[in-house]
Amino acid sequence: MNRTTAFICFALLACLFTIGGVLIFLFRPDATATFIAFAVQLLGIVTVGAGTFAALGQQGKKIETIQQQTNGNTSRLMAENERLTNLLAQSPPIDPTSADRTGQPLPEGTLRADL
């Protein structure tokens, strides 16, 4: 439902409630307050519902746009991440506690076997 349709429906409902309010005022003035309270509540509920449906429609459009923009990119990024992880696992370990902080590889056999 687009905004124009929602506005026309709301305006039509408001006109019907206005006409109904006038008729109630003419024929049963004691029920006017109850009818007006009902009309205001119903128009409020319709307004909130229309706003919710409009927001959901826009969110759906954004999700479709995101899916179109990331078509295939995610799988390529994951493959590159896996390749770099494997490359890092194959490289020699680095001593993070070395005094010179140059990242020299540790001598063979200095790591604990349980790690």
pLDDT per residue as tens digits for the range 58-80: 888 888 777 777 665 677 778 88
Name the percent of the chain in helix, strand, coil, to the closest 5: 75, 0, 25
According to the model, what pLDDT value does residue 115 have? Answer: 47
Number of independent structural domains in the chain: 1
User: What is the distance between the alpha carbons of residues 46 and 54, in angstroms, rounded to a whole number?
Assistant: 12
Is residue 60 situated within a structural domain? yes
Is residue 94 situated within a structural domain? no
Is residue 17 situated within a structural domain? yes
The model carries a pTM of: 0.50
Is residue 39 situated within a structural domain? yes
Is residue 106 situated within a structural domain? no
Q: Which two tokens stand for residue 88?
A: 């890092």
Q: Tokens 């119903």 correspond to what residue?
A: 42
Q: Assign 41 a pLDDT band (cuts: 50, 70, 90).
A: very high
User: What is the distance between the alpha carbons of residues 20 and 36, in angstroms, rounded to a whole number?
Assistant: 9
Residue 22 belongs to what domain range? 3-68
